């Protein structure tokens, strides 16, 4: 199914490609979460973002920074996440976060498997608070582009 809707901007919101690209690049530069090297180009109200970041949150911040600008009809996010994850480092990072969390017991069987910047979490947690602590720990690892949550909440202490 195709969406054939066309977005028409009010005349007051229209910006030519140069004005729109300049506004978008200024918005990116003003956002402290977006690293240098992320750029925007514009064509008929459509913004294309390009560049390289280390975190998914940086990629999302760039899109958010330009999406609300006057004159933007669409945002294509072609920003790449380039940091290569060392699975041992990710496993250690997740385990350290679990160790720091009073929510997750010391005898937890939670494991993380890392492949192609995607972390898969497996094992058992007792509560949704423990679940959220584990998933949050995985998301903040450097270079993560996705976390697959296969944790089971048992509901037993």
What CATH number should be reported for the domain holding residue 130? Answer: 3.30.1340
Residues 77, 91 share a domain = no
Domain count along the chain: 2
Residues 123, 94 share a domain = yes
Quick one: pLDDT at residue 140? 75
Look at residue 147 and tell me if it is in a domain. yes
Residue linked to tokens 């350290």 = 96
Residues 64, 18 share a domain = yes
Answer yes or no: are the C-beta atoms of 82 and 110 closer than 8 Å.
no
Point out the domain boundary residue: 51, 66, 81: 81
Point out the domain boundary residue: 81, 108, 126: 81
Indicate the DSSP class of residue 122.
E
Give the residue numbers spanning the domain of 114: 87-153
**77/60 Cα distance (integer angstroms):** 9
Look at residue 21 and tell me if it is in a domain. yes
3-state helix, strand, coil in the chain (%, to 5): 35, 25, 40
Look at residue 3 and tell me if it is in a domain. no
Look at residue 4 and tell me if it is in a domain. no
Largest pairwise CA distance in the chain: 63
pTM over 0.75: no
Under-50 pLDDT residues of the chain: none
Tokens representing residue 120 in the block? 């898969």
Point out the domain boundary residue: 55, 81, 107: 81
Residues 110, 77 share a domain = no
Q: Which residues contact 97 (CB under 8 A, 6 or more apart)?
A: 133, 134, 136, 137, 140
- pLDDT tens, 43-69? 988 999 999 998 888 999 999 999 999
Look at residue 143 and tell me if it is in a domain. yes
CB atoms within 10 A of CB 32: 7
């Amino acid at each position: 199914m195709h969406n054939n809707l066309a977005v028409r901007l009010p005349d007051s919101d229209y910006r030519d490609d140069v004005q729109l690209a300049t506004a978008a690049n200024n918005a990116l530069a003003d956002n402290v979460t977006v690293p240098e090297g992320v750029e925007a180009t514009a064509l008929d109200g459509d913004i294309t973002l390009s560049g390289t970041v280390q975190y998914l949150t940086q990629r999302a911040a760039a899109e958010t920074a330009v999406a609300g600008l006057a004159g933007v009809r669409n945002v294509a996010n072609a920003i790449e996440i380039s940091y290569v994850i060392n699975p041992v480092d990710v496993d250690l990072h997740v385990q350290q976060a679990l160790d720091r969390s009073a929510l997750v017991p010391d005898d937890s069987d939670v494991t993380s498997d890392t492949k192609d910047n995607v972390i898969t979490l497996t094992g058992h947690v007792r509560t949704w608070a423990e679940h959220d602590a584990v998933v949050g720990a995985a998301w903040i690892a450097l270079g993560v582009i996705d976390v697959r949550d296969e944790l089971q909440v048992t509901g037993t202490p």
